[in-house]
Structure 1
Amino acid sequence: MTLLSNGTGAGTGTDTSSDTVVPSYVLDSWWTPGEGAHAQRVLDASTGAEVARVSSDGLDLAAVVAHARTVGQASLGELTFHQRAILLKKLGQYLGGVKEELYELSARTGATRYDSMVDIDGGIGVLFTLSSKGRREMPNSQVYIDGDVEALSRDGSFSGQHIYTRIPGVACQINAFNFPVWGMLEKLAPAFIAGVPTIVKPATPTGYLTEAVVRHILASGILPAGSLQLISGSARDLIDHLDYRDLVAFTGSAGTARSLKAHPNVVEGGVRFTSETDSLNAAILGPDAAAGTAEFDAYVASVVTEMTSKAGQKCTSIRRLIVPAGRRDQVVAAVSERMARRVTIGDPRAEGVTMGPLASTGQRDEVLASVSRLIDGGGRIVMGSVDAPTGTDPEGAFVAPILLAFHDPESPAVHEIEAFGPVASIIEYTDLDHAIALAARGGGSLVTTVATHHPDVARTLVLGIAAHHGRVLMLDRVDARSSTGHGSPVPHLVHGGPGRAGGSEELGGIRSVLHHMQRTAIQGSPDMLTAITGEWHTGAAVRTGIHPFRKSLAELRVGDQTQGGPRVVTLADITAFAEATGDKFYAHTDAAAAAANPFFPGIVAHGYLLVSWAAGLFVDAAPGPVLANSGLEKLRFVTPVSPGDSIRVTLTAKRITPRETDEYGEVCWDAVLHNQNDEVVASYDVLTLVAKE
């Protein structure tokens, strides 16, 4: 099956010369097609001048895939999650030093300085965010544990654990034309941390900017061999060479996504396929957000920003303005006034320009054709014009911002036709249920903004539309200035949506890393689970002798254990703790009230008293490798302790996480308190910072 293009045609015809063809980077070297190859011309979006030519004729895609599966898998497999995350940070720092050159090139795509910042700085920001989260939220190992151990036998000899390990193939990333830098880096970052090599296929109209970024990445020397390859031009039969080991992450049109999803290797061969596609995103103006309120002003500002940022060429742009009945004219007037005051259309390299052209004349023609269809479907233009903006180059791909109004909010056109440019439509709702129904008519969207300061309105709208969307932005007077905006996916949160939006998700912090890994349930004895996961499981072998607090990270091993106690608890101890802390809860101070409590046999010891005593029972007090206690996790009080009872503690090294850039690491200790009857009193994890040497 032929792999369809994920971008609009960039130019006029083909050329047989390969002298200026944008190269591909495959098999760890640059590649260009031979003489006679057909190359597509790519034009400057503002002037129509030729920028580059693109061709992949003759490229051996089977060899590209094989190289990723062998060389790329091997080089990435030598590294831990933390080591890969640190390389991403270094890469982000390097690219930050060359971004001015990228801005200059980005202007040729029609992007303004602000547009380029969203694309270039946004992409670099993903590298930093994923690097940070990878080091903070993942172990410094090659296995990621998912959830707690599941006991499968009464005596503890047989248990289950879910783990994630990287998929053994390649992540093929097919990107759209509108974000040639962010689109690549937001997919590369999680795949890289997971340890999966990447093949990038950018859209032809702006792929020359992606190639420039890849060239800088390679010049940095940071990434291991085989971890990144670039296909400039058509990817043709790429999916023919993939199987269940591999993943395809597609961004582009819904039609192309459907074609790719239908490939036999996806349907029958098990290729993992995710897509982020067309989306008729909405912005709902709450009934309380009347003209003059901060919410109304924030709503109008958001609409103007989303219609003009990247000339409206964003999958997250606002396409449908859903406003209360009787409020339409106010919104149109406010949007028109702000648009006239703040937006200047032209070549983004010219002083004062705030909105550039579309990415290509082909894209311009598609947008204007969609506007014509919206008019035929019942819309009328209430702001803007289909005529070329005054003063712009006729060879450029310029379109003025256009707002259409629909008298019938149920018109199929407004909920089905997306003009992928500076175009939006406005409709009115009668009540909140109607607003919810209208938002849902988009058939699944990436994002909707709800502008309201009324908690009940917010709750009703969000609960009504959440299942139809991947993200909902709540916009009011409190967050209007700090909000990242309707159209800005952030790497911490998932980006995607159901239905028409593609049905998949990207980003979302460590979730995006796990998309490139396989979750597997492993079953076995505690010793086998410990050996596989690198984390000590209750019942596995332990080592005693030298106190583990005397051991540096170089000497410490999971399973190293110490015990302390017993210590008898007296009523005087309980009373003294209550007086010293001020915690005089009746279960610790009033015998009659405590005895009436269904959970206690009478006065009982404070749980925090027992935890404090436990520390005294297991701590080796002299200076040594243990530098600090950084916290407790998973603390549970299980059995009450009465005066006269005794407690003892068992402390076992559970997880050891060296920090790659520091002279210390974190050790997680399994702590369990028992009473004189061997009943568990409390259990928790102790976190300490320990020197490497």
Structure 2
Amino acid sequence: MDNVEHSDVAENNKVPETLDVVNPYDQTYIESIATVIWGDIDKYLSTAHQLYKDCNQWIPAFERVSILKKAAVLISQRADELAFLIANEGGKPLADARVEVTRAIDGVELCAKEISKLIGSQIPMDLTQAGAGRIAFTTKEPIGVVVAVSAFNHPLNLIVHQVAPAVAAGCPVLVKPARDTPLSCKAFVDILHEAGLPPQWCRFVACDISTSEKMITDPRVAFFSFIGSANIGWMLRSKLAPGTRCALEHGGVAPVIIDESADIDAMIPSLLKGGFYHSGQVCVSVQRIYAPKDKAKNIAQLLAEGAAKLIVGNAIDEKTECGPLIRPKEVDRVEEWVDEAVAAGAILMTGGKRLGESTYAPTVLFEPPANAKVSTMEIFGPVVCVYGYDDIDEAIEQANSLDYAFQAAVFTKNLDIATKAIRELDATAVMVNDHTAFRVDWMPFAGRKHSGYNTGGIAYTMHDMSQDKMAVIKL
């Protein structure tokens, strides 16, 4: 045997490890699950690939509709249980976890509805003499085996956005959740099976990093869906097998521009929600706010007053508004970045300290240096930065200065300023008089540049997981 064969034998003979899931606030044990070794994943891929290759085994559209509708009902019946699970394993406050469950229900129902829109079109053939005497049309087919790798911050709804479209498009799918939050993912996969989806069409795959990379880069994979950090996403894309398509959703350093005409009193609650929702652990969380110089300090102070009132604690406590960061080492990192910015001249308006091993105080910084980490990198924590500007063109230039571009926002009562921001901000979506973290699940959702590749959103993902086939009939 050569080295590769020896390696495969070792992988196949591995004993599954046990993954302990804990509450990120106090590390309280929740549950243990067994990880999946390569030998099992190899079998899953083979089965999934064979299901795809034999079109006679494809699940008819009406059955997919029925399965998804039943799944939505089952999620509704278990809404409280799932919301508690999201809060307990992921640290998202219960109030927000309940919203996530509602979104998951809506997302599954939307997938069922969108199946009716997986349609082809007639192609005119007699536009030239060469095509005359023929009729042609296209149909939609599933792209093949989908592998989805997800993040921790929306442990149910992200899985819905990756897995339910695959089911709707008729693709077999293997899904690897974040190691911190596998239980919500497993619950959804189990619900799909209970709703009538044969288990071989959707597999829950909790595994280690090396095994997941082997699965992702396997030539049997037709589509790779990834939600996570830019470094890992781009690395994995570079290793995909020839022909494998992908969608990557990374993070951003979301900018907000405040115009002179903005309604400040109405704006502050929106910015607080956009900046401190899930303790800033959102890929489009408000991070950089640019305000006119004569108003910037006051805006920072108003934000600081609101942030200081937020209740930080265990996400399963009904009173909690800001939960823990997902791991203690993330608190270490946020603390380091904030301390660095303050040492370099940023004014600390509120926060700037850890409250425990797993929590960090909601923090507002005024005028951190433009080259500080908090100004140039996604902090993924409860930190918002405010900067003053003299000219709105300068603010737009600063907003566009990074390699990350996702969602952006502008607050203004001036239509000219609104249209200028929409036109000139480098973003896939520009919110007017709303925070950058706004999203509904049927809208396109995507990052530019380092922030991602391809477009998310239910219908857009189903399109990516489908392919056209044309029939040309000579009369």
Q: TM-score range by the shorter chain?
A: 0.7 to 0.9
1:276 is aligned to 2:275? no
Work out which of the residue numbers 192, 197, 211 in structure 1 matches 2:172: 197
C-alpha distance in structure 2 between counterparts of 1:74 and 1:223, whole Å: 17
2:106 is matched with which residue? 125
One-letter amino acid of the structure 2 residue matched with residue 384 of structure 1: G
Work out which of the residue numbers 433, 455, 460 in structure 1 matches 2:415: 455
Classify the secondary structure of the residue corresponding to 1:260: helix
One-letter amino acid of the structure 2 residue matched with residue 122 of structure 1: R
Classify the secondary structure of the residue corresponding to 1:496: coil
1:427 is matched with which residue? 387
C-alpha distance in structure 2 between counterparts of 1:418 and 1:401, whole Å: 16
One-letter amino acid of the structure 1 residue matched with residue 336 of structure 2: A
Give how far 1:153 is off.
Answer: 3.2
- Is the CA contact (8 Å cut-off) linking 1:73 and 1:196 kept in structure 2? no
Give how far 1:81 is off.
Answer: 3.6
Question: Which aligned pairs between 1:248-267 and structure 2 lie closer than 5 A?
Answer: 248-263=224-239, 265-266=240-241
2:149 is matched with which residue? 174
Give how far 1:373 is off.
Answer: 4.3
Against the structure 1 CA distance between its residues 370 and 41, is the aligned structure 2 distance closer, same or farther, given a 3 Å change threshold? farther
2:362 is matched with which residue? 401
Give how far 1:381 is off.
Answer: 2.2
1:353 is matched with which residue? 320
1:42 is matched with which residue? 21
C-alpha distance in structure 1 between counterparts of 2:53 and 2:284, whole Å: 34
1:217 is matched with which residue? 192
Give how far 1:103 is off.
Answer: 2.0
1:153 is aligned to 2:128? yes
Question: Which aligned pairs between 1:501-520 and structure 2 lie closer than 5 A?
Answer: 501-507=451-457, 509-520=458-469
1:112 is matched with which residue? 93
Classify the secondary structure of the residue corresponding to 2:256: strand
C-alpha distance in structure 2 between counterparts of 1:110 and 1:510, whole Å: 29
One-letter amino acid of the structure 2 residue matched with residue 469 of structure 1: A
Against the structure 1 CA distance between its residues 382 and 64, is the aligned structure 2 distance closer, same or farther, given a 3 Å change threshold? same
Against the structure 1 CA distance between its residues 448 and 82, is the aligned structure 2 distance closer, same or farther, given a 3 Å change threshold? farther
Against the structure 1 CA distance between its residues 37 and 80, is the aligned structure 2 distance closer, same or farther, given a 3 Å change threshold? closer
Q: TM-score, normalised by structure 2?
A: 0.88
One-letter amino acid of the structure 1 residue matched with residue 430 of structure 2: V
Give how far 1:75 is off.
Answer: 8.7
Higher helix residue share:
2
Classify the secondary structure of the residue corresponding to 1:458: helix
Against the structure 1 CA distance between its residues 228 and 492, is the aligned structure 2 distance closer, same or farther, given a 3 Å change threshold? same
1:440 is aligned to 2:400? yes
1:472 is aligned to 2:430? yes
- Is the CA contact (8 Å cut-off) linking 2:71 and 2:191 kept in structure 1? no
Give how far 1:248 is off.
Answer: 0.8
Work out which of the residue numbers 297, 318, 330 in structure 1 matches 2:286: 318
C-alpha distance in structure 2 between counterparts of 1:376 and 1:82, whole Å: 61
Q: Deviations over 1:232-290 (max 9, x none)?
A: 23253445452275111111111111221221x34xx222122111211112112211x
C-alpha distance in structure 1 between counterparts of 2:56 and 2:102, whole Å: 26
Against the structure 1 CA distance between its residues 314 and 284, is the aligned structure 2 distance closer, same or farther, given a 3 Å change threshold? same
- Is the CA contact (8 Å cut-off) linking 2:340 and 2:372 kept in structure 1? no
Work out which of the residue numbers 201, 213, 222 in structure 2 matches 1:227: 201
Larger Rg: 1 or 2?
1
C-alpha distance in structure 1 between counterparts of 2:344 and 2:446, whole Å: 28
Against the structure 1 CA distance between its residues 81 and 412, is the aligned structure 2 distance closer, same or farther, given a 3 Å change threshold? farther
C-alpha distance in structure 2 between counterparts of 1:244 and 1:380, whole Å: 53
Question: Which aligned pairs between 1:281-360 and structure 2 lie closer than 5 A?
Answer: 281-289=254-262, 293=263, 296-341=264-309, 343-360=310-327
1:417 is aligned to 2:359? no
Q: Deviations over 1:636-670 (max 9, x none)?
A: xxxxxxxxxxxxxxxxxxxxxxxxxxxxxxxxxxx
One-letter amino acid of the structure 2 residue matched with residue 210 of structure 1: C
Question: Which aligned pairs between 1:228-247 and structure 2 lie closer than 5 A?
Answer: 228-234=202-208, 236-240=210-214, 242-243=218-219, 246-247=222-223
C-alpha distance in structure 2 between counterparts of 1:417 and 1:458, whole Å: 26
Structure with higher RCO (Cα < 8 A, 6+ apart):
2
C-alpha distance in structure 1 between counterparts of 2:160 and 2:441, whole Å: 11
Against the structure 1 CA distance between its residues 463 and 35, is the aligned structure 2 distance closer, same or farther, given a 3 Å change threshold? closer
One-letter amino acid of the structure 1 residue matched with residue 273 of structure 2: T
C-alpha distance in structure 1 between counterparts of 2:161 and 2:36, whole Å: 28
The percent identity for this pair of structures is 20
C-alpha distance in structure 2 between counterparts of 1:299 and 1:209, whole Å: 34
- Is the CA contact (8 Å cut-off) linking 1:313 and 1:422 kept in structure 2? yes
One-letter amino acid of the structure 1 residue matched with residue 338 of structure 2: V
RMSD value over aligned CA atoms? 2.7
- Is the CA contact (8 Å cut-off) linking 1:181 and 1:210 kept in structure 2? yes
- Is the CA contact (8 Å cut-off) linking 1:432 and 1:461 kept in structure 2? no
For this pair of structures, how many residues does the alignment match? 459
Gaps of 5+ in 1: 1-32, 139-143, 389-393, 528-693
Give how far 1:522 is off.
Answer: 4.8
Against the structure 1 CA distance between its residues 351 and 460, is the aligned structure 2 distance closer, same or farther, given a 3 Å change threshold? closer
Q: TM-score, normalised by structure 1?
A: 0.61
Classify the secondary structure of the residue corresponding to 1:305: helix
Classify the secondary structure of the residue corresponding to 2:406: strand
